[in-house]
Amino acid sequence: MHCHKWGGRMQGKIALEEHFAIDETLNDSKQFMPEIWAELQSRLLDIHEKRLGFMDKHGIEMMILSLNSPTIQGIPNARRAIELARKANDLLAEKVRKRPDRFAAFAALPMQDPEAAIQELTRCVKELGFKGALVNGFSQVTEGDSAVYRDVPLYLPFWSVVESLDVPFYLHPRDPLPTRAQVYEGHPWFLGPVWSFGAETAIHALRLMGSGLFDKHPGLKIILGHLGEGLPYSMWRVDHRLKKSSRGIPARKPLGEYSRTNFCITTAGNLRTQSLLDAMLEVGADHLLFSTDYPFEEIGEAAEWFDNTSISENDRIKIGRLNAMKLFKLG
């Protein structure tokens, strides 16, 4: 499929924050959109019918699919997390094999056990042909009320393998645990995609930058959705204040440098031209990727906005297709 505008629509787009569910993980998504649960549920479980129809209609050649949230990360029992991740990945591999021209996959990983996560990522990339991993923020480990983030030393061997496999790691949101969500008390409407997803993911990404991870593993590529979870807009101030008082931060460079070198950001669920232009100015068009966040967002709405947003055709083709082809080594 060639990349061209047809009837005002860009053909050949590649989207990579696109979710599916298996029976065991389905209910994890109910809380986000209970009003339209019947429809959402059928869209999460479907891959080759309705989804493909929307893709054809709106010029999307390929979707890289990932498991819904928080699923594996919300299972404190490591053995159960390992089993379910493996099951979800095997089912996804089967779905992709039916239409490898239209679908690719991100691995779900049991981060509760870093060694098991290494094994599963390696299996998925080398044996199943997956394009990387998507992980829903922190993990609950052993007990329901724990939150383990990816910057802790425990994960250094894992990051070393991600770098050597040369695949991207999508840091996807999840809500803070109820015991850590006092700021939302009495304001439940700000949980989830409205606000807490972005706030939670942004501080997680900052932790990775500040920990010195990218000094040790400069080849790592992390993906953030929703136009970077607010970070592009804030990086100057972060570094400006760290310069005045760094309090011994391990990172060797200004954090903005990592955000421009080691991160890519997608348009998933953030269809605002002004924000896209700001992101392009902050991180460069080469680090931006089109996505829709289906089925929590409408493919048509995302595609129509992107096809017509006021950027150059050169940038549209890069963000819509070429950057993803390069990052994921597609065709």
List the catalytic residues. Answer: 293
> How many CB atoms sit inside 10 A of residue 192's CB?
18
Q: Which of 55, 65, 23, 298 shows the shortest CA–CA distance to 170? A: 65
Whether 149 and 205 have beta carbons less than 8 Å apart is answered as no
- Nearest-angstrom CA–CA distance, 135 and 205: 12
Q: H-type helices in the chain, by residue range?
A: 37-45, 50-57, 78-98, 114-126, 156-165, 196-210, 213-216, 231-244, 255-261, 273-283, 299-308, 313-317, 323-327
In this structure, is the dihedral angle defined by the CA atoms of residues 244, 247, 250 and 255, taken in order, positive or negative? negative
Tokens of 198: 């972005």
Tell me the three state secondary structure of residue 264: strand
Tell me the three state secondary structure of residue 216: helix
- Nearest-angstrom CA–CA distance, 50 and 42: 9
Instruction: Please name the amino acid found at residue 5.
Output: K
CA dist 266 → 181, 194, 239, 285 (Å)? 26, 17, 23, 11
Residue 288, phi then psi, degrees to nearest 5: -115, 145
Q: Which residues pair with 265 in a beta bridge?
A: 224, 288
- Nearest-angstrom CA–CA distance, 146 and 159: 21
Token look-up 């931006």 returns: 288
